[in-house]
Structure 1
Amino acid sequence: MIDIKVDPRLKSQRFRQEREADWRRLERLIGKVEKGSIADLSDEDLLAAPVLYRSALSALSVARATSLDRALIAYLETLCARAYFFVYGSRETLWGQLKGFFAGDWPAAVRGLWRETLVSAALMALGVMIAAWLVGHDPDWFYAFVPRELAGGRDPAATTEALAATLGGKDASGLTVFATFLFTHNAQVALLAFALGFALCVPTAGLVLYNGAMLGAFLALFASRGLGIELGGWLLIHGVTELFAVILAGAAGLRIGWAAAFPGERRRLDALAEAGRHAATVMGGVVVMLFLAGLLEGFGRQLITDTAARYGVAAATALMWGLYFYGPRRHG
């Protein structure tokens, strides 16, 4: 019996000739999408794309198994990689993704954390009440909650006139740098509250409680000098957005900590992964809120010095965030 050996190059050429038409068609479809958009394809092309992709994968598998020439294998590997992103990748533009995040993903994620948000808000309120009560009975408690360098002269040693002067506006020069500093500081606080959630909620809860205590110490000090209303306007023009952002960051941290402590019937890693994805969506929006709060604190609060106008801005932002996150929505 005569053993006839077939040249591997001939086998590769024949293999390619039998299937090359489908590969070329798939290349053309991918090229259309890469140069334009998915809308450039007909319904027939859209239906054919997954079939052509699976056919190319099958051809790649056969080429590898039968040791066809390396150039063909490399071509099929590249084609299949491009086709994968074409078939399974995101087909939305960056603008579409941003629109989807702000129109649906972020507010839905925040609503999904409503229990943790209530707990985080309650912790902050508890910190305010404890510190306000302690400072109201003994002003020296102020320094236990507010470091002297952070107080910036707004402490029990200051005169009433000096405290009142700090609530006025500043010169417009240098406000950009001031706003950037405040944004960076607030972002660090919020991100820390989120990150500490992995330690079973306790550090996150403590940080939110302490932030509330700092606020309560300031409120007690200024109220004791008859400046409580003025301080409220000074704080709330940016504080509605900023404090809500910190509360949401704390809520995100609490969700992760709860999943770590009580994973339920799921594996702990699976529970943490799910909680982490949910919390990360919330935190993406929290960064935006902190940026807006930084602008309000660095510009709006410094340029708007009328107390009534400050309360008006605070009320408007509270209404805006309330409707955005928790207002009725159309479905479908």
Structure 2
Amino acid sequence: MDVDAFVLAHRETWNRLDYLTKHRRSLTGAEIDELVDLYQRVSTHLSMVRSSSTDSALTGRLSALVAQARAAVTGAHAPLSKEFVRFWTVSFPVVAYRARYWWLATTVIFVLVSILIGMWVAGDPEVRASIGTPEMIDQLVNHDFESYYSEHAATAFALQVWTNNAWIAVQCIAYAILLGIPIPLVLWINAVNVGVMGGLMFGAGKGAFMMGLLLPHGLLELGAVFLAGAVGMRLGWSVIAPGDRPRGQVLAEQGRAVVAVAAGLVVMLFVSGLIEAFVTPSPLPTFLRVAIGVLALGLFLGYIGYFGRRADRAGDSGDLADAPDVVPTG
């Protein structure tokens, strides 16, 4: 597509739609009909640009124009059921999919930091001695770690786990307001905690036992935390380096993306909390409990990959402001 020629050919149409949208409260009957017609035509232009051009500035401009015109034309929203379906098949998965490289990088760095700290703790008796007395460490690795998963009723424990994990994810989401700057510190603190615990358990010969309790729920749980951190940091970076688009527009779009991820993570963490409460402490064989955790993560990644890629290829950003309303009729 020749973007310059396309803009030149349709610029007057877009300007006219923008004018009618801004003056919608004082339009005549003929102008209302013109507004509906132009809305449908510019919606087609937006689809053409999304499928044939990589000009993000033009796509953003037309997306905003179509969203404003749609609100003026319809004055009503799509049924709640359609908005619900759109959220789970477009808004949430496409935002997670587009943040996949940030998500992967966050995961790799977190795991590497945890492993290095774990190896340091496990291999140095002086480090372990600085963490606690031999009696304290013995109590932790031989009693407290396992009893953590079974000392409370499963339903109460599920709520406790969900609340704790949600709080960590919420911190990452909330820190997006500060351009994601504090997020690495939050993740670092949690990586250190995981590494220290792993070092103590492996140092005491309880490494396999620890992984058998951690992996069933931890794969999905940490995946949610990493996603929250990745999206928050991506927002910050998009504001620092917005490309050829207005910084305010990028901030608004990415902010709405963070909201979408926050809502999706509520369900993701709820599922991991259920696994931690009912599967982790269960009498099932270790391999089966771990398999359930791997399956849960695999299903989630498959869901993101399928729906997120499909929406991304269709040019849908998942922006909540672009959610379709009732289609107007001329």
Question: Which residue of the partner structure matches residue 328 of structure 2?
Answer: none
Give the one of 263, 269, 272 matched to 1:290: 269
- Give 1 or 2 for the bigger CA radius of gyration: 1
Structure 1 residues 314 and 139: alpha-carbon distance in aligned structure 2, compared to 1, 3 A threshold: farther
CA contact (8 A) 1:237 1:314 kept: yes
Partner of 2:77: 90
CA contact (8 A) 2:123 2:203 kept: no
Q: Which residue of 1 aligns with 2:116?
A: 130
Per-residue CA deviations over 1:221-276 (Å, capped at 9, x if unaligned) read 11122221221121111111110000000011111111232233434322211211
Deviations 1:190-248 (A, max 9, x none): 11112223334331112112212211222221112222122112111111111000000
Q: Does 1:241 align with 2:220?
A: yes
1:112 is displaced (CA, Å) by 0.7
How many angstroms apart in 1 are the aligned matches of 2:310 and 2:109? Answer: 33
Residue identity opposite 2:150 in structure 1 = K
1:323 is displaced (CA, Å) by 1.1
Q: Residue in 1 aligned with 2:85?
A: 99
Q: Which amino acid aligns with 1:257?
A: G
Worse-superposed segment, 119-128 or 262-271: 262-271
Contact 1:106 1:282 (C-alpha < 8 Å) held by counterparts: yes
Q: Is the 8 A contact 1:200 1:260 kept in 2?
A: yes
Aligned to 2:150: 170
SS in 1 for 2:230: helix
Match of 2:98 among 103, 109, 112: 112
| Contact 1:155 1:221 survives alignment (8 Å) | no
State the SS of the aligned residue for 1:302: coil
Matched, 1:316 2:295: yes
- Aligned-pair CA distance for 1:322: 2.1
Q: Tell me if 1:215 matches 2:207.
A: no
Report how many residues are paired: 249
Aligned to 1:232: 211
The one-letter code sitting in structure 2 at the alignment partner of 1:170 is S
Q: Which has the higher contact order (CA 8 A, sep 6+)?
A: 2
Contact 1:135 1:142 in 2 (8 A): yes
C-alpha spacing 1:304/1:96, structure 2 compared with 1 (3 Å)? farther
Return the offset for 1:188.
0.9
**SS of residue paired to 1:202:** coil
Deviation for aligned residue 1:184: 1.0
Q: How does 1:18-33 map to 2 (within 5 A)?
A: none
Alignment of 1:133-282 (within 5 A): 133-138=119-124, 141=127, 156-158=137-139, 161-162=142-143, 165-166=146-147, 170=150, 174-282=153-261
Distance in structure 1 (CA, Å) of the matches to 2:107 and 2:135? 25
User: Could you list the runs of 5+ residues in structure 2 that have no partner in the other structure?
Assistant: 1-23, 30-70, 315-330
TM-score (norm. length: structure 1)? 0.64
Match of 2:57 in 1: none
Greater Cα shift, 193-202 or 229-238: 193-202
Tell me, in whole angstroms, the C-alpha distance in 1 between the residues paired with 2:310 and 2:182: 38
Q: What is the CA deviation profile of residues 263-293 of structure 1, one whole-angstrom value per residue up to 9, with x for unaligned ones?
A: 3343432221121122222222111111111
**Counterpart AA for 1:215:** V
**What are the superposed Cα offsets for residues 285-321 of structure 1, whole Å, 9 maximum, x if unpaired?**
1111111111111222233453122112112112212
Which amino acid is the alignment partner of residue 299 of structure 1? F
SS at match of 2:243: coil
Q: Please list every run of 5 or more consecutive structure 1 residues that lacks an aligned counterpart in the other structure.
A: 1-53, 60-83
| In 1, Cα distance between equivalents of 2:285 and 2:257 | 40
- Aligned-partner SS, 2:77: coil
> What RMSD, in angstroms, separates the aligned Cα atoms of the two structures?
3.5
